[in-house]
């Protein structure tokens, strides 16, 4: 590979990676705090993209779609947590499988609803003219929209990082992901925090849905692939770890990008291979605690 080709693949991998961070954040924080693998996360990603599409078509602006979709889906996520997951957790605090079944059912419900409302066919969300074409960055040219996707997701991810690492809310979140019981004992309102984190994760997934949906296309099953990747990223990084989600996502973005370029036929098995190797060497992932949930 030439230097230009390597740089291009690096940038593409980074674009995929930062968007994966947005999707993975919700998954990993929800798991850390509630011990729940949220199967409906892919549906929230998908609904985010469609919410963006609806807003953009009715209001005539891609940007409004991008701004409106995350809070709408965030509210939906908050509702899911408050009225479904919380009652379930209060009644069966020890079960990790009931929430799994619940979110599995919700994902089917949302996917089915999307098919009813918007049809099963692929649709596309038009990108603004400003973001068409390509830009040249020194020795390489890069699609403008990809650059936008990279920057927008990176800005959002950085904002989330600041919130999690530098605010008192973030301190509570980090405490609650490490040890929910101890955090509650120390006076953190973990119930409210669960709802906030669920809303935050859902909103971020929706933002990624609009950004990536515009890059490719929209369909009711569009979330499956990316959320699978996000899952693998957080497993590699260590479930429940925010840092792990970032590192895992960025790593996976590069594995994907170079995998597609160098081993086109085998890039998907390559991803699973990376995950299997990490898990065999470090059963709790790179940044996972040794606590076996």
Partner 1 sequence: MTRVPAILIAAALILAPLGVGRFYSAYYLNLLTWILIFALFAAALDLALGYGGLVSFGHAGFFGIGAYGAALALRHVSFSLWAALAVGIAAAALLGVVVGYFAVHSRGVYMAMLTFAFAQLLYEVAIKWVAVTGGSDGLPGVGRPRVSLGPLALDLSDKRHMYWLVLAFVGLGFALARQIVASPFGHALIAVRESEERARAIGIDVTRHRRVALVFSGALAGLAGALFAVFQNFVSPELLFFALSGEVVVIALLGGLGTLYGSLVGAVIAIGLREVLSTYTDNWLVFLGALYVVCVMCFPQGLTRLFARAV
Task: Give least dist CB 92 to partner 1, A.
Answer: 7
Task: Give least dist CB 224 to partner 1, A.
Answer: 9
Task: Give least dist CB 252 to partner 1, A.
Answer: 13
Closer residue to partner 1 (CB): 113 or 144? 113
Task: Give least dist CB 273 to partner 1, A.
Answer: 7
Closer residue to partner 1 (CB): 7 or 270? 270
Closer residue to partner 1 (CB): 115 or 174? 115
CA angle, residues 234, 282, 278, in degrees to nearest 5: 60
- E strands of the chain, at which residues? 134-137, 140-143
Closer residue to partner 1 (CB): 149 or 233? 233
Dihedral through CA 183, CA 79, CA 165, CA 90, nearest 10? 20
Alpha carbons within 13 angstroms on the beta-carbon side of residue 22 total 32
Render 16-34 in DSSP notation, one character per residue.
HHHHHHHHHHHHHHHHHHH
Task: Give least dist CB 219 to partner 1, A.
Answer: 14
Render 34-83 in DSSP notation, one character per residue.
H----TTHHHHHHHHHHHHHHHHHHHS-HHHHHHHHHHHHHHHHHHHIII
Would you call 218 helix, strand, or coil by DSSP? strand
Nearest CA among 108, 152, 104, 111 for reference residue 128 = 152
Task: Give least dist CB 62 to partner 1, A.
Answer: 29
Residue 216 · residue 54 · CB < 8 Å = no
Closer residue to partner 1 (CB): 15 or 28? 28
Nearest CA among 225, 215, 54, 52 for reference residue 146 = 215
Closer residue to partner 1 (CB): 31 or 145? 31
Chain positions contacting partner 1, by CB under 8 A: 31, 37, 39, 84, 87-88, 91-92, 94-98, 100-102, 104-113, 115-116, 228, 231-232, 235, 239, 265-266, 268-269, 272-273, 275-276, 279-280, 283-285, 292-293
């Amino acid at each position: 590979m030439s230097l230009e080709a390597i740089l291009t693949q690096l940038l593409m991998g980074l674009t995929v990676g930062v968007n994966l961070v947005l999707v993975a954040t919700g998954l990993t924080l929800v798991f850390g705090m509630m011990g729940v693998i949220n199967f409906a996360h892919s549906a929230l990603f998908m609904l985010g993209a469609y919410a963006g599409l609806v807003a953009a078509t009715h209001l005539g602006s891609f940007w409004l779609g991008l701004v409106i979709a995350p809070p709408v889906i965030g509210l939906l996520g908050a509702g899911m947590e408050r009225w479904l997951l919380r009652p379930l957790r209060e009644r069966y605090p020890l079960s990790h499988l009931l929430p799994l079944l619940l979110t599995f059912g919700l994902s089917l419900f949302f996917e089915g609803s999307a098919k009813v409302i918007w049809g099963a066919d692929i649709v596309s969300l038009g990108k603004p003219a400003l973001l068409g074409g390509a830009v040249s960055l020194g020795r390489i040219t890069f699609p403008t929209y990809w650059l936008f996707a990279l920057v927008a997701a990176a800005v959002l991810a950085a904002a989330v990082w600041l919130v999690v690492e530098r605010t008192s809310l973030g301190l509570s979140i980090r405490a609650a992901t490490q040890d929910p019981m101890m955090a509650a004992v120390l006076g953190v309102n973990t119930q409210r925090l669960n709802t906030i984190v669920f809303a935050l994760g859902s909103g971020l997934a929706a933002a990624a849905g609009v950004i990536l949906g515009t890059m490719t296309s929209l369909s009711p099953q569009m979330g499956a692939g990316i959320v699978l990747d996000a899952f693998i990223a957080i497993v590699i990084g260590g479930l429940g770890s925010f840092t792990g989600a970032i590192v895992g996502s960025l790593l996976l973005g590069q594995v994907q990008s170079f995998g597609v370029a160098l081993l086109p036929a085998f890039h998907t098995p390559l991803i699973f291979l990376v995950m299997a190797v990490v898990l065999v060497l470090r059963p709790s992932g790179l940044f996972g605690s040794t606590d076996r949930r």
